[in-house]
Structure 1
């Protein structure tokens, strides 16, 4: 049986592992057949069941246990988006990967799917584009999401709320970094943030550039604060939330008594754009120990370099716990290097931030 280790070069080394169980939900028989053949070529993946619409998927989950659900959005009878909450309720922890042409053409639908609990999205190509790079990316996502599900039970990385909030002071800014599975955590924080904590908030979320305006608009509906995609050259204001654009890194700098936002086109320390590292490093320089960072679920280690910068100026970094994360790559990298002030659930982070509103 082939290894679960994802290899974008298309090679899948042999290893004795339990296969990742996959469910295919798509109204196109052709698409399901292509996905089954594509994923079946990787021995670490097993197709357990298929469904042609949302209701059929919910019914199938009554009888089948799976690890990953590939979900189309546009389907007859009941769309994937409409059925997603019910699918997640029956999924017993399975991760949903939206694979749909709507994932690229319809930004609001894709962002809504992520907000409802889908882990990731992937644009479905035309029939001629299913091979090559698309196949490699799909297999990589399925393997990474499937593997992360098995790693969530390590108790030494369970949530450990900070025991004494009195050691913290009210921050002058909050910087949030997030990727796969992190959008619901961001929403929870903003929805429950105390109004008296009026410091600016910077957010870097790994999303395509075309989705950022929709994402910012969605967040704007959760809070009284002004939410916007950050513009280069603007002065940072209180009660504002600045979302990184998808085509550049969100950075900031001091200019007299003001903090000014910038767009950085390149950042050699990270392969991601926008990069959490680029944002955190600049925030550490601009705010020093008065900054506070939250790092949520995500693949890879984006945020680790930034956490080092925060640590160097004695600013705290709080990370999401393994159990509530979809993928514990980004938070885990920070924890394993000893840079996290605490491992917390989003609810614990909300409690912490509420207590900081009374800090001097």
Structure 2
């Protein structure tokens, strides 16, 4: 993939200050003197200031309360095989994933991402997985099986290291992400395909992402909305069957909503894949070359616009008020203040600050 600027995550210096939100925001603020490896170009200080301000506002959203979850055999995807919602969700994520896989501009990103996340698997399965995930025959069932194995392996590992190399913010982001994915995986097996990359992250890997302004903006925006993205299926399910003289109009509206969801999913997956490749860029040159270092901010802006458009669609399509309010309540940034309070409560009570297993 051609990029107009190349760097690595550890080349983005930041300032630290007191306060959990300010610390996160300052970590994300890239110095105007940052040295970029390939071109030596610098970020515009005006651009950084505007991003910094908007990030501060969006970081104070209302993170949905995600209950603790214990991964286990009771969450097997087989129990959901007959669910219409689960099947439709799987179809939407499959279509989005395949768009990226078959697009020559993102095919390399997909393959590199799959190579990295497949490292979670036992050695005897790694080679098989690499031959299956992006196979030419497009076997989505086998891909789903391997992505589920990757996601469950990632969820089952402890990621809450108390190493002094990272602060509480990175650990909280990882733990919230795991909880959110685990809860959605209960209902939608497609969650594994959508968020396997999130499942393999560790605090040490997330920490550099939060030093980079655009990756930090995207992380706050997308991680907080995992429940939102998975709940968009309810918008489609709420639409009436096309009958009578209004059948064509309803069908058109349904197709438009579906296409918008798939487009949003494409962008979310692409950001996630860029994050995973960026975390590996320090030791993997191929992964480094796949990252949209110079344009990742544009992708984040596109996702934000997609979400605004999706919110409008939900308001227009979902007629049941309680259901509409429930869906829209999930369209929110990751609130670091809420996570910090929860973290401190759990620390004081001696409870685990992540899924028990």
TM-score scaled by length of structure 2? 0.25
More strand by share: 1
More helix by share: 2
TM-score scaled by length of structure 1? 0.24
- Higher RCO by CA contacts (8 Å cutoff, separation 6 or greater): 2
